[in-house]
C-alpha cells in the first residue's frame, strides 16, 4: 500500500500540464491548455487541462481526473504503476507502507532486466535460424512486423541461455520462468526450438513469452505443446495481461475500439494489414481484469472468435464476465468468423476492408445474449419459456448498466412469455415503469436542505475545495448523491489529513459512488472559468440563504402553535422575525443547477 501522505506530496510536486504534454501536445487556451482528446476520436479540441486545478476534462467523452488517473487512462497502467511512473518523472521514490501482516514485495528487483536480455537474445537468434524464418515467411509475416513485435527464436538445445547470462544458476532465471529446475536440481531452458513472442506490460517492459513450436526437422521428435507460455511469475500473471496492448494503444484511439482475439499471430497479422487495434488473451479465458484494463482505454470492445462450438463457448464466457463491468456508455460486441477462418487467415485471404466490414457488423452484447438464450430453449412450450426465464434472471441481475438492463428485460420478456415487470421481479431487479403509471414521490423532510442550494454549495466546494472547511456541521439533509457528497466533503475537511486541493479531491473520491457528479461539476467549473473569489461569493450567499430558510422553518413551526406559545417562544419568534426581515441586500445571485 502506498502511503496517503506520499500521494499528496506527489500530486503537489507533479505538474499535470507537463505530464499530459509529454504524451499529447497541448496548446495554450486562455488560462488552460487544450488538445484533441487522446481517449476518443475527434476533429475539434475538447480536451482541457487546467494548471491551476491540476486536472483535465474532455467535454466530448467526459474523461476526467488528475495526473495519476491520466497515466492510468492513457497508458493503461494499474494504479500502483501509475503512481510509480509519475513519481519517477519528478524524481521521487515510492515508499512501501509496511504493517502487521503486510505481504512481502513479490517482484524481484532484476526480473525485468533478465527478461529483456532474453528477448534480445531470442530476437538475434532468429537471424541465424532459416527454419524459423521460412516458417514466418510462409505465414506471410514481414520483417518490419516481426521487428515491431520483437519476435524471435529460441534455438534447439537444453542450455542456450548459459551463453547469455554470466551465472546460469542464478535464481532470477527460474523466477522469471526462463529456466526449469527438475527434481534432481538439473537446470535447462524452458523454451527450445520455438518462435518467441515477447509479452509486454503496460509500460512496454518484457514480462514473459509465448513460444510457438516449429514443425520438427527430419529425424527430430515433437518438442512439447504447440504453444507454450511463461509460467506465473512475480511480474507475469496471465489473467491480468494482454498480448499486443502497448502496440495497439494508438490504433485503439484512432479506431475508437479494441479487438480481442485469441492468438499471437492474429494480433501480428492484423497489425501488418493495417488493423492495429487488436490484442489477445494469453491462452486463458477473458477475465474481469482484462476487461477493466480495456474499458479504461476505449468505449467499445469487439470480441473476435471462431464460429465453432469452442468459439461460441469462449464468447459466452466473455459475455458473462462482462455483465457487471459494462456501462451504458460502453459497447461490447461479438464477431464470429466462418468456421474455416481465424482473424489471421481471414485478413490474409480477404484483406483489411473485408475484415473491418465484418467488425462493423458484429453482434451487440444484447443481441448475442438474447439470441443464445432463445436458441437454447423451445419457446413454443411453457416449460421452454420457463427455462429461458430461469436462465435469464441471474444474467439480468448481474448487469451493471441500468439502461442496458432495462432494454434486455424488455427484449427477453416476450420470448419468456412474461411481461417486463414479471421478468424483472423474477430477476430481483426494479420493474420497468409502464407509461401512464403514476409515480409517487417520497415526502421531502421538512429540515432537508433545498436541492438548489445543495447543488450550489457542492459546486462551490469543487471549484475551491478549501471552502469544505466551512460547510455546516448540521442542516445538510439533501437526498441522493448531492447530500452524500456534501457530507463526505465536510468530513474530509474536518479530518484535516490532506491538503484541500482539486487534485487531492479527485484522488480522495476517485471511487466514491458520487464521483461522476463531482466530475460533471468540475467540468462546469472549468468551462465557466469560475475562480476562487466567485466561488466563495456564491458559497457565502448559499450559506446565508440556508440560514434564512432554517429561520423561516422555525418561524412556521412556532406560528402553528399560535396561542400555546410560551413566553420564551414568543421572544424567540420576535428575534426570528427581526433576523429574517433584516436579511442583508446585495448578495450575488446564486446560480442553480443547469437545466
Q: What is the DSSP string of 447-479?
A: TPPPHHHHHHHHHHHHHSGGGGGGS-SS-----
370-427 CATH: 1.20.50
Q: Which pLDDT band holds residue 101 (cuts at 50, 70, 90)?
A: very low
398 vs 591, more confident: 398
Round to the nearest angstrom and report the end-to-end CA distance of the chain.
42
Q: Contact 210/197 with Cβ under 8 angstroms?
A: yes
Any idea which fold 245-361 has? Dna Topoisomerase Vi A Subunit; Chain: A, domain 2 (3.40.1360)
Give yes or no for a contact between 328 and 366, defined as CB atoms under 8 angstroms apart: no
pLDDT score, position 99: 47
- The better pLDDT of the pair 203, 130 is held by 130
Task: Return the higher-pLDDT residue of 243 and 526.
Answer: 243
Tens-digit pLDDT profile for residues 537-594: 888 887 777 766 665 666 666 666 666 667 676 666 666 666 666 544 333 444 445 4
| CATH superfamily placement of domain 451-581 | DNAb Helicase; Chain A (1.10.860.10)
Instruction: Give the residue, 463 or 586, on which the prediction is more confident.
Output: 463
Is a pLDDT exceeding 70 seen at residue 435? no
Domain extents for the chain? 4-89, 111-229, 245-361, 370-427, 451-581
Q: How far is CA 277 from CA 268, 406, 443, in A?
A: 10, 31, 52
Confidence category of residue 100, pLDDT binned at 50, 70, 90: very low
Task: Decide: 326 and 293 in contact? Cβ < 8 Å.
Answer: no
Tell whether the model's pLDDT for residue 323 goes beyond 80.
yes
Q: Which helix (H) or strand (E) holds 194?
A: strand 194-200
Grid cell of 54 as nine digits: 491540476
Whether residue 451 is predicted with pLDDT greater than 90 in this model: the reply is no
Taking the C-alpha atoms of residue 579 and residue 190, their distance in angstroms, rounded to an integer, is 83
Q: What is the mean pLDDT of residues 24-38?
A: 88
Cell 527454419 appears where?
131
Q: Is the pLDDT of residue 481 over 60?
A: yes
- Whether 276 has a pLDDT exceeding 50, the answer reads yes
| Contact of 300 with 330, CB cutoff 8 Å | yes
Q: Which residues are CB-contacts of 91 (< 8 A; sequence separation ≥ 6)?
A: none
Q: What's the mean pLDDT in 306-333?
A: 90
| 140 has pLDDT over 90 | yes
CATH code at 111-229: 3.90.980.10
Bridge-based pairing state of the strands 194-200 and 206-213: antiparallel
Tell me which of 82-91, 169-178, 221-230 is least confident: 221-230
Give percent of the chain with pLDDT exceeding 70.
84
Q: Hey, what long-range contacts does 486-491 have (CB within 8 A, 24 or more apart)?
A: 486/454, 486/457, 486/458, 486/461, 488/512, 488/514, 489/458, 489/461, 489/465
Q: CA 135, 141, 142, 145 torsion: positive or negative?
A: negative
Same-fold call for 111-229 versus 451-581: no
Strands 64-65, 187-189: pairing kind: unpaired
Q: Which of 67-81, 159-173, 291-305 has the lowest mean pLDDT?
A: 67-81
Measure Cα distances from 74 to 8, 16, 204, 300 in Å.
21, 13, 13, 16
pLDDT above 70 for 103: no
Give yes or no for a contact between 280 and 262, defined as CB atoms under 8 angstroms apart. yes
d(CA 20, CA 10): 16
Give per-residue burial for 542-563: e unless 16+ CB within 10 Å, then b.
bbebbeebbbeeebeebeeeee
When pLDDT is averaged across residues 388-416 and rounded to a whole number, the result is: 93
Coil, strand or helix at 147: helix
Residue-level length of the chain: 595
Mean pLDDT computed over 194-214: 92
- How far is it, in rounded angstroms, from Cα 257 to Cα 533? 42
Q: Where are the alpha helices (DSSP H) in 262-381?
A: 264-272, 288-297, 309-322, 343-350, 352-360, 365-376
User: Distance (Å, rounded) from C-alpha 28 to C-alpha 300?
Assistant: 31
Which candidate, 138, 66, 46, places its Cα nearest to that of 501? 66
Architecture of domain 4-89: Alpha-Beta Complex (3.90)
The pLDDT score that the predictor gives to residue 579 is: 61
Residue 591 pLDDT: 46
- Range of 170-184, 428-442, 539-553 with top mean pLDDT: 170-184
Mean pLDDT confidence for 505-531: 83
pLDDT at 587: 37
Are the CB atoms for 11 and 507 separated by under 8 Å?
A: yes
Residue 108's pLDDT band (cuts 50, 70, 90): very low
Q: What per-residue confidence (pLDDT) applies to 440?
A: 36
The number of beta carbons lying within 10 Å of the beta carbon of residue 86 is 25
Under a CB-based contact definition with an 8 Å cutoff, are residues 290 and 271 in contact? no
In whole numbers, what is the pLDDT of the chain averaged over residues?
83
* Percent share of the chain, pLDDT over 90: 44
> 102 or 60, which is more confident?
60
**Mean pLDDT across 191-202:** 94
Task: Say how far apart CA 133 and CA 123 lie, in whole Å.
Answer: 12
* pLDDT value of position 577: 65
Task: Give 102's strand partners.
Answer: none
103 burial level (CB within 10 Å; 0-12, 13-18, 19+)? exposed
Q: Rounded to 5 degrees, what angle do the CA atoms 584, 588, 592 make?
A: 120
Amino acid at each position: 500500500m502506498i502511503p496517503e501522505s506520499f500521494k499528496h506530496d506527489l500530486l503537489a510536486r507533479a505538474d499535470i500540464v507537463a505530464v499530459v504534454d509529454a504524451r499529447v501536445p497541448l496548446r495554450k487556451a486562455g488560462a488552460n491548455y487544450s488538445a484533441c482528446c487522446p481517449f476518443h476520436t475527434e476533429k475539434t479540441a475538447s480536451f482541457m487541462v487546467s494548471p491551476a486545478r491540476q486536472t483535465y476534462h474532455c467535454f466530448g467523452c467526459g474523461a476526467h481526473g488528475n495526473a495519476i488517473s491520466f497515466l492510468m487512462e492513457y497508458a493503461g497502467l494499474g494504479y500502483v504503476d501509475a503512481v510509480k511512473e509519475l513519481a519517477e518523472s519528478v524524481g521521487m521514490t515510492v515508499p512501501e507502507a509496511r504493517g502487521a501482516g503486510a505481504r512481502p514485495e513479490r517482484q524481484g528487483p532484476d526480473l525485468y532486466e533478465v527478461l529483456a536480455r532474453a528477448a534480445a537474445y531470442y530476437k538475434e537468434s532468429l537471424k541465424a535460424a532459416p527454419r524459423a524464418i521460412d516458417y514466418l515467411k510462409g505465414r506471410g509475416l514481414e520483417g518490419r512486423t516481426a521487428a515491431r513485435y520483437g519476435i524471435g527464436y529460441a534455438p534447439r538445445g537444453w542450455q542456450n541461455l548459459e551463453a547469455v547470462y554470466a551465472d546460469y544458476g542464478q535464481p532470477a532465471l527460474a523466477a522469471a520462468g526462463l529456466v526449469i529446475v527438475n527434481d534432481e536440481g538439473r537446470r535447462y531452458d524452458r523454451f527450445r526450438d520455438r518462435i518467441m513472442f515477447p509479452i509486454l506490460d503496460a509500460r512496454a517492459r518484457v514480462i514473459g513469452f509465448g513460444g510457438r513450436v516449429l514443425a520438427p526437422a527430419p529425424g527430430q521428435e515433437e518438442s512439447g505443446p504447440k504453444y507454450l507460455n511463461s509460467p506465473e511469475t512475480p511480474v507475469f500473471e496471465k489473467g491480468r495481461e494482454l498480448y499486443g496492448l502497448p502496440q495497439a494503444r494508438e490504433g485503439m484511439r484512432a479506431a475508437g475500439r479494441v479487438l480481442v482475439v485469441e492468438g499471437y499471430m492474429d494480433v501480428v497479422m492484423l497489425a501488418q494489414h493495417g488493423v492495429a487495434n487488436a490484442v489477445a488473451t494469453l491462452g486463458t479465458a477473458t477475465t474481469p481484469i482484462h476487461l477493466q484494463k480495456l474499458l479504461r482505454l476505449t468505449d467499445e470492445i469487439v470480441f473476435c472468435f471462431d464460429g465453432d462450438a469452442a468459439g461460441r463457448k469462449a464468447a459466452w464466457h466473455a459475455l458473462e464476465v462482462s455483465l457487471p463491468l459494462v456501462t451504458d456508455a460502453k459497447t461490447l460486441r461479438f464477431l464470429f468468423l466462418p468456421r474455416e477462418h481465424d482473424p489471421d487467415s481471414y485478413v490474409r485471404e480477404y484483406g483489411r476492408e473485408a475484415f473491418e466490414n465484418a467488425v462493423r457488423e458484429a453482434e451487440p452484447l444484447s443481441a448475442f445474449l438474447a439470441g443464445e438464450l432463445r436458441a437454447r430453449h423451445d419457446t413454443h412450450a411453457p416449460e421452454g419459456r420457463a427455462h429461458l426465464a430461469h436462465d435469464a434472471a441471474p444474467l439480468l441481475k448481474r448487469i451493471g448498466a441500468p439502461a442496458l438492463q432495462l432494454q434486455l428485460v424488455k427484449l427477453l420478456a416476450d420470448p419468456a412469455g412474461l411481461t417486463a415487470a414479471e421478468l424483472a421481479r423474477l430477476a430481483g431487479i426494479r420493474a420497468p415503469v409502464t407509461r401512464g403509471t403514476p409515480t409517487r414521490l417520497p415526502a421531502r423532510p421538512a429540515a432537508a436542505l433545498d436541492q438548489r442550494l445543495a447543488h450550489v454549495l457542492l459546486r462551490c466546494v469543487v471549484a475551491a475545495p478549501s471552502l469544505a472547511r466551512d460547510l455546516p456541521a448540521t442542516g445538510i439533509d439533501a437526498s441522493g448523491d448531492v447530500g452524500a457528497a456534501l457530507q463526505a466533503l465536510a468530513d474530509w475537511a474536518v479530518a484535516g489529513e490532506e491538503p484541500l486541493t482539486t487534485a487531492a479531491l479527485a484522488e480522495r473520491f476517485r471511487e466514491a459512488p458520487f464521483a461522476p457528479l463531482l466530475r460533471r461539476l468540475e467540468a462546469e467549473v472549468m468551462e465557466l472559468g469560475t475562480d476562487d473569489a466567485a466561488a466563495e461569493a456564491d458559497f457565502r450567499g448559499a450559506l446565508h440563504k440556508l440560514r434564512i430558510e432554517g429561520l423561516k422553518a422555525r418561524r412556521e413551526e412556532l406560528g402553528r402553535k399560535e396561542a400555546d406559545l410560551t413566553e420564551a417562544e414568543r421572544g424567540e419568534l420576535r428575534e426570528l422575525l427581526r433576523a429574517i426581515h433584516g436579511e442583508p441586500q446585495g448578495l450575488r445571485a446564486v446560480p442553480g443547477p443547469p437545466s
